[in-house]
Amino acid sequence: MLSLLSWIVTGLVVGLIARALVPGRQSMGLILTVALGVIGAAVGGLISTAFWPTWANDPNVDRMWPGWLMSVIGGVIVLWGYIALTADRSGRTTV
């Protein structure tokens, strides 16, 4: 249960930061923002494991900022994809 709550909180933080970094208005609710953050964190994690080794055996709070950074980058990538899929020809989001 605590793991699910941490995913929701992380998704909310990552989703809000990604929405703040991408210019323009995104018409998304809270649940979609959390989903964006969770998916973005997963995408960022996949990208980071391709380039850097993981420290799963020795978690250190001082070394967690690259994970947050990659989660936000993944959230921005997912948000750009969402905007591209939901935008009509005039550039406005349809959802």
Tokens standing for residue 19 = 């929405």
From the centroid of its chain, how far is CA 84?
A: 16
At residue 93, the 3 state secondary structure works out as strand
How buried is 61 (Cβ within 10 angstroms: 0-12 exposed, 13-18 middle, 19+ buried)?
Answer: exposed
d(CA 23, CA 18): 10
The residue that leads in pLDDT, 53 or 31, is: 31
Average pLDDT (44-58) is: 73
Is pTM beyond 0.85 here?
Answer: no
Alpha helices in 22-64 (DSSP H): 30-51
Q: Quick one: pLDDT at residue 80?
A: 93
